[in-house]
Amino acid sequence: MNRFGFGLVVAGVLGVAGSAGALQIGAGIPAAVLETEMRNVDGEMLTLSSAQDEGGLLVVFSCNACPWAQAWKDRIVASGNQLLDRGIGVVMVNSNDPAVVPDDDFEPMVAAAQASGMRFPYVVDADSSVARAFGATRTPELFLFNGAGELVYTGAFDDDAKNPEAVENRYLEAAVEAMLAGEPIAEPQTPSIGCSIKFREKA
């Protein structure tokens, strides 16, 4: 079994995202989508720009149906809620096409957000343009930006999706602590393990 907790990877459904095409460490939030309006589960529209806080911004590409996203969900939600209290903005983005994955339609998103207790936005990437701009390909896939808007960490939440008690490397937590302390991040990039994003067709 690999360190990420699931032994079997199904080609085209579950896998590992490499760094090719993704934002590189030090890059800013993609300008092309910084002001893109996305519908939050509360019905309001918001942008990545408005979601930023003084301490930075965490963008999480996730969904409702993927078993990897569900395995990490409680940990991501708990961490995201805590980051809000530390002056770091958080937004979860669903870029999946609901025509392909009905569980990722808006109403199931609302229900999932309410059930999870998340205090941060969970938004619809209506044309998958935000995921494309980030180079995101998996759910979940995390992008952490510092207060200057520079990417300082990208990849997985930690190293064991299946068993929280077996986690050896808390990647996001370590990155946040180093970022806030003004110290170098030991592992600024890790593989994103999860389901492939079901991109909406370009208009």
Query: Cα(199)–Cα(1) distance, rounded to whole angstroms?
Result: 29
Q: From residue 24, how far is each of 29, 120, 162 by CA, in Å?
A: 11, 25, 28
Distances (CA, A) of 110 to 94, 107, 123: 12, 5, 10
Residue type, 43: G
pLDDT value at position 83? 99
The candidate with the shortest Cα–Cα distance to 29, out of 65, 7, 57, 62, is 57
Instruction: Give the DSSP H or E segment for 16.
Output: strand 14-17
Please report the pLDDT score of residue 202 as a whole number. 77
Q: How far apart are CA 134 and CA 143, in angstroms?
A: 9
Report how far residue 193's alpha carbon sits from residue 203's, in angstroms, rounded to the nearest whole number: 28
Tokens linked to 165 = 């008690």
pLDDT of residue 22: 84
Domains in the chain, start-ordered, CATH in brackets?
14-196 (3.40.30.10)
Q: Which letter does DSSP use for residue 61 in this model?
A: E
Cα separation of the two ends of the chain: 41
Give pLDDT tens digits along the chain (203 positions): 345 454 433 333 455 554 457 899 999 999 999 999 999 999 999 999 999 999 999 999 999 999 999 999 999 999 999 999 999 999 999 999 999 999 999 999 999 999 999 999 999 999 999 999 999 999 999 999 999 999 999 999 999 999 999 999 999 999 999 999 999 999 999 999 999 999 998 76
Give CA separation, 188 vs 47, 51, 93, in Å: 25, 22, 21
Place of tokens 């930023």: 52
pTM tops 0.75, yes or no: yes
- pLDDT for the residue numbered 113: 98
